Structure 1
Amino acid sequence: MCIELMLNAVNLLLVAFSKMHNGKAIVSNPTSTVGIDGQLFVFFIMVVAAAEVCVGLSIIVMMYRNTHSVDVNFLNRLKN
């Protein structure tokens, strides 16, 4: 959860800086694409976060298929 919060904070910063630099570049050259890089990084970070969620959900589904329970304490008892 903490990693997701940090990624979202980085996303906000990247979009804010991208918007700031894009605004300055458009004033000097209306066809400029400077400042879009931050938004592209945000897109890739969101793709990585979605992949993390898919992996986590697949682990939970496989755990349920094998044990018919999502109780973590039950899995700890299986280790011993």
Structure 2
Amino acid sequence: MTTLMVRAVRPADLPAITAIYAHAVISGTASYEYDPPSLAEMTARHDAIVSANYPYIVATDAAGAILGYAYAGPFRSRPAYRFTVE
């Protein structure tokens, strides 16, 4: 059984997150992107999320390898959606 740990993202995690997302863009249909974003673009996206005080987390194994990531961000800009994230 793999030990799973969840923690806040660190800047050093962004290359692994970029690789995970690139695989999803190339192999899947859920991202709605045609080309995988660069590390610089993924860093900018990360910075926008955390600067707005939304969560951005990674799941790691016991050795610290990143297994996955998740984040939340605003759903819509209208005031009625202020408590809704996606």
TM range (shorter): under 0.3
TM-score for both structures, normalised by structure 2: 0.26
TM-score for both structures, normalised by structure 1: 0.28
> Relative contact order: is structure 1 or structure 2 higher (C-alpha 8 Å, sep ≥ 6)?
2
Q: Which has the higher helix share?
A: 1
